[in-house]
Chain A
Amino acid sequence: MSAPEGTSRLSRQRIRSAWLFLAPMLIVLFIVAAWPLGRTIWFSFTDASLDLMSEAEFIGFRNYLEWVDFGDGEGAWYGLLADQRWWRSVWNTVVFATVSVTFETIFGLIIALVLHQQFAGRGLVRAAVLIPWAIPTIVSAKMWAWMMHDQFGILNDMFMALGLIAEPVAWTASPDTAMIAVLIVDIWKTTPFMALLILAGLQMVPEDIYEAARLDGVPPWRVFRKLTLPLIMPAVLVAVVFRALDALRVFDIVYVLTPNTDATRTMSVYARENLFDFDQFAYGSAASTVLFLVIALITITFIMATRMDLEGKRQ
């Protein structure tokens, strides 16, 4: 194989047909992913407005950071990276993603373990558990908005009947509880998704390992810690990355459920507001670009930190 031409005719042909087969997917990916992303990044370096996109002019990094001289010896930093509201949105998003994914993983794991057991009506329960995940987010957010309404909501009614609270709580309105309300709805909605992915991991674990453990008389908790958990870890980590990617770009729940305030505004809500509500298309593009970078950074860090096996080489 060390001949000057390097590869045989056959393998050259194989490589050619491989590219040919990949081409449709690459073209589609370019159209739906790379091109819009590239456009967004380009717009973030211009002064584009939604009405006058064709007249956008390059202005460098001014949407990101700019020193504005007031002309009287004083000045201030402006731009996305100097915007308190933006950093508050980043903080909100990270808090939301961390808390929601943590709870969803724990609850998902518990539900998956239960659903993995043999019991009568398991098929029915498995289907029923998926219902929250199957409801479109906009519908469940609106549904919960009514359930959490301070005057007409059933949640306050139930809690008051149980004596848990003395006064109706304005779940979505008060800045103290707004983020909690969002988290409750998201955890309710997305736990089934985690449970499903973890359940798939559980079903991959061979039965004979458990049998051997049973014969050796290993107590159940040790079986879980030393056998089950390590064996399903790859599946759990993949599920966590999926969820984290999803949670970091959260928009719909926050937008529908809570008022547009600093308490819950996420990166996506911030970007949309600038893109469409305000006449700040370029600035919103800059926010979208940084959002993309933040998500990429967090995901890469997570994959490196957990030494996740993405190529399936390690066994």
Chain B
Amino acid sequence: MTSLFRLTTALAGLAAMATGAIAEDLTIVHGSVGRDQEVLRKQLDAFEAETGHTVTIVSMPESTTDQFGQYRLWLAAQSADIDVYRLDVIWAPQLASHFIDLGPHVADIVDDFVPAAIESQTVDGKLVALPMFLGAPALYYRSDLLDQYGEAVPTTWQELTDTAGRIMAAERAAGNDGMFGFVFQGAAYEGLTCNAQEWIHSSGGGRIVEIDGAIEINNQAAADALSLAASWVGTIAPEGVLNYKEEDARGVFQSGNAVFMRNWNYAYALAAGEDSPVRGKFGVSILPAGPGGQSTATLGGWHLGVSRYSEHPEEAIELVRFLNNYENQKERAIVTSRPPTLNAVYADPDVAAEQEFIPLWKPVVDNALPRPSAATLRKYNEVSAAFWTAAHDTMSGNGTAEENLARLEGELRRLRGSGW
């Protein structure tokens, strides 16, 4: 009896090995904002139940700049500890060599994805990461306050400045001392690069670095846009905005202390949540534009790549495919209001019913402006740091916009050298 039992166990073991159905331990790393962590864990639980593998989440700080430093270190050390990385849309050109080409592994589904998203993750024909969700920021506004004071949703930065100032003054006069006009991401990090690129591009000041690598950022339209932004600090925006990241800005807006906020899509689900003080009192619109420009939204998003140093690449690829399937993208769209990367989810009636923001935002996502990571390749982080320094210096009164842009131009020329 016992020998029979042993035989069957041994056979079962052999069969398991033959089909490769051995339970593996996988690790995924991401920088959670809002409800990302909660939703990811839930979806991983489903994956574990379906496949028998276990997946551990390693959670990183909110700042994408901080995440990058750590990932760079792990990847350079060829660490096998992390199998799947959630990568910022801008990182593909810098980190391509460390990731598996997912192209052959997703050939059957790749056409269902938003083409621009796939393109942004393709470096020299290699698909570095499979797009997980996209981002295109919105102007969040307090609809109740705009109604109360008979103001319209601003379409230009100057209108925003004036409207925010008027409502803030009126609210403060009415005893609401903590009220501010506008909050955004003003800390010296990647987030400020996104914000400042929007101010400048939407005012006709061009890109940080043009698509062909040209440096034309030192122009009057760009200087005017930065000067206007500098005038917000300490007037319609709290001085602390110079150290605000996404969640700081949301904290102020969601607690009812700001008329306007520039933030990514995730803030929508949270501000509309049941415990939110501004639930039902806010709306979203496209970001304002400056004179001579059109509303600009920076292309954001996070995508899943499989490390070349992973010891379980097959299972990791399975996980990436699972997390980006229709059901999971739909769930993320509804729960976290993150724009999906599958075209079909935008047309899903449940998504439209639960989260009207998503289908509404499809054209904005489609027209979002990428940061110059493709043009500047391995030097992107330095370009971005030089750019956010120029913006941060201007806003903190350390030199005028003209001076800082002239210095930025010199810095970018030095970085470019004989070519990006």
Contact = CB atoms under 8 A, between A and B. Distances in A.
Interface of A: 49-51, 53, 76, 78, 149-152, 168-170, 172-175, 258-263, 272-273, 276-280
Contacts of A273: 385
Interface string B102-135: 0000000000000000000000000000000000
A279 B240 contact: no
Interface in B35-72: 65, 68-70, 72
Interface stretch (B6-14, B324-332, B375-383): B375-383
Given A151-B238, A172-B243, A261 B73 contact: no
A151 B252 contact: yes
Interface of B: 65, 68-70, 72-73, 75-76, 94, 97-98, 178, 186-189, 238-244, 248, 251-252, 257, 378-379, 381-382, 385, 389, 392-393, 396-398, 414
B65 A277 contact: yes
Pairs A-B, 4 closest by C-beta atoms? A150-B240, A173-B243, A170-B240, A173-B242
Nearest to A50: B76
B76 A259 contact: no
Given A150-B238, A151-B257, A260 B382 contact: no
The secondary-structure label for the interface of chain B is helix
Contacts of A152: 251
Contact of A279 (B94, B97, B242, B243): B94
29 contacts: A50-B72, A50-B76, A51-B98, A53-B76, A76-B414, A149-B240, A151-B238, A151-B251, A151-B252, A152-B251, A169-B239, A170-B239, A173-B187, A175-B242, A259-B188, A259-B243, A260-B65, A260-B188, A260-B189, A260-B385, A261-B389, A261-B393, A261-B396, A263-B396, A276-B72, A277-B65, A277-B385, A278-B381, A279-B381
Contacts of B381: 277-279
Contacts of A258: 243
A75 to B, nearest CB: 12
Nearest to B242: A173
B239 A150 contact: yes
A259 B187 contact: yes
Given A51-B76, A78-B414, A151-B252, A175 B382 contact: no
Nearest to B411: A85
A175 to B, nearest CB: 5
A257 to B, nearest CB: 9
Nearest to A257: B243
A180 B142 CA distance: 36
B241 A173 contact: yes
A262 B393 contact: yes
Contacts of B186: 173
A167 to B, nearest CB: 9
Chain B CB count within 10 A is highest, among A51, A272, A278, for A278
Given A175-B397, A276-B72, 8 more contacts: A150-B240, A168-B238, A168-B240, A259-B243, A260-B65, A261-B396, A277-B65, A279-B94
A174 to B, nearest CB: 5
Given A259-B188, A277-B69, A173 B94 contact: no
Contacts of A174: 239-240, 242, 396
A149 to B, nearest CB: 7
A151 to B, nearest CB: 6
Contacts of A149: 240, 248
A173 B240 contact: yes
A259 B190 CA distance: 12
Contacts of A276: 69-70, 72-73
A278 B241 CA distance: 25
A261 B68 CA distance: 18
A151 B240 contact: yes
A76 B411 CA distance: 12
A149 B187 CA distance: 13
Contact of A272 (B69, B98, B243): B69
Nearest to B61: A256
Nearest to B252: A151
B382 A280 contact: yes
Given A50-B76, A272-B69, A279-B379, A259 B94 contact: no
A68 B385 CA distance: 22
A277 B414 CA distance: 18
Contacts of B69: 272, 276-277
Nearest to B414: A78
B242 A170 contact: yes
Nearest to B388: A260
A160 to B, nearest CB: 10
Contacts of B414: 76, 78
Contacts of B97: 51
Nearest to A279: B378
A279 B415 CA distance: 11
A276 B95 CA distance: 12
A185 to B, nearest CB: 14
Contacts of B242: 170, 173-175, 259
Contact of A170 (B65, B243, B257): B243
A307 B280 CA distance: 71
Contact of A262 (B68, B70, B243, B398): B398
Nearest to A258: B243
Contacts of A168: 238, 240
A173 B240 CA distance: 5
Nearest to B418: A71
B72 A259 contact: no
B378 A175 contact: no
A68 to B, nearest CB: 8
Nearest to B71: A276
A260 B243 CA distance: 9
A260 B384 CA distance: 13
A124 B385 CA distance: 48
Contact of A151 (B178, B187, B378): B178
A263 B76 CA distance: 31
Nearest to A151: B252
B251 A278 contact: no
A273 B72 CA distance: 12
A278 B396 contact: no
A276 B130 CA distance: 25
Nearest to B398: A175
